[in-house]
């Protein structure tokens, strides 16, 4: 369960959210500039709000009143962006293992064979990102995030750069992650169709405020 009560101001933009996310996948809808990506960056620890607190499964990641701020690398959140952000000089195999190799063996919840099989990545393992399609890159980015054994997956419009055909191919993989690995997800998008496909629980942001919450 993720509990958010945050206030963040930068220039003329203000983000103020107080909510609890306790669904396996929580969708977050909103137009560009509504604060969706800023919210994810705050959850991940990439931005620090002026006021508020964040609790993940009862563990405090942020509490400005008590001067608690857990740095990003200790929060164990997996981030997947719309462009995948793969390392171009590494093979798919080494991209997948990039975060995996940096966590102690006893903290690794999944192995590469399981993740590769689930996301159908076997034929891609020796290829470089430059030779992959958009959909293949997103599957690799998702696999890399899962192999990091995150406590929470943060997905920032992961399909927005794909055409409808590729979106339809990739969406089922998120449901596989949900059912097989039991990692909670916050799924940010501007597409109601993606939200409807993935989850019944969603929030809607506009101009930095929570304007609708569907239970």
Average pLDDT over residues 71-97: 90
pLDDT at 215 over 70: no
Distance CA 58, CA 146 (A): 22
Could you give the number of structural domains in the chain?
1
Long-range contacts for 129-133 (Cβ within 8 Å, ≥24 apart)?
129/84, 129/86, 129/87, 129/88, 129/90, 129/92, 129/95, 130/88, 132/86, 132/92, 133/166
DSSP class per residue in 107-167 = G--S-HHHHHHHTT-GGGTTS-GGGS-HHHHHHHHHHHHHHT--SEEEEESTTTTS-HHHH
Per residue in 6-52, pLDDT (tens digit) is: 999 999 999 999 999 999 999 999 988 999 999 999 999 999 999 99
Long-range contacts of 47-50 (CB under 8 A, 24+ apart): 47/8, 49/6, 49/7, 49/8, 49/15, 50/7, 50/8, 50/9
Global pTM value: 0.88
- What CATH number does residue 127 fall under? 3.40.50.300
Listed in sequence order, the DSSP H helices in 16-86 are 36-44, 72-75
Domain that holds residue 125: 2-214
pLDDT value at position 173? 84
Q: How far apart are CA 184 and CA 151, in angstroms?
A: 7
Which of 116, 136, 135, 123 lies closest to 180, judged by CA? Answer: 116
- CA dihedral over 34, 40, 42, 46, signed as positive or negative: negative
Q: Are strands 59-63 and 185-189 parallel, antiparallel or unpaired?
A: unpaired
pLDDT tier for residue 153 given thresholds of 50, 70 and 90: very high
Task: Give the chain's mean pLDDT.
Answer: 91
């Amino acid at each position: 369960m993720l509990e958010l009560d945050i206030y963040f101001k930068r220039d003329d933009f203000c983000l103020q959210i107080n909510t609890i996310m306790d669904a396996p996948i929580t969708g977050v809808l909103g137009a560009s500039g509504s604060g969706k990506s800023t919210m994810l960056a705050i959850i991940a620890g990439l931005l620090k709000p002026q006021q508020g607190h964040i609790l993940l499964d009862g563990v405090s990641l942020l509490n400005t009143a008590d001067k608690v701020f857990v740095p990003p690398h200790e929060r164990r959140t997996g981030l997947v962006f719309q462009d995948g952000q793969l390392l171009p000089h590494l093979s798919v195999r080494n991209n997948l293992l990039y975060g995996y190799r940096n966590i102690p063996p006893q903290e690794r919840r999944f192995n590469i064979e399981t993740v590769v099989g689930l996301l159908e990545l076997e034929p891609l393992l020796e290829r470089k990102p430059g030779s992959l399609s958009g959909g293949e890159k997103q599957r690799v980015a998702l696999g890399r995030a899962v192999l990091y054994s995150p406590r929470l997956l943060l997905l920032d419009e992961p399909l927005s750069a794909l055409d409808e055909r590729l979106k339809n191919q990739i969406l089922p993989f998120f449901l596989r992650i949900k059912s097989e690995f039991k990692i909670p997800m916050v799924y940010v998008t501007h597409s109601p169709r993606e939200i409807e496909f993935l989850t019944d629980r969603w929030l809607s942001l506009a101009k930095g405020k929570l304007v609708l919450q569907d239970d």
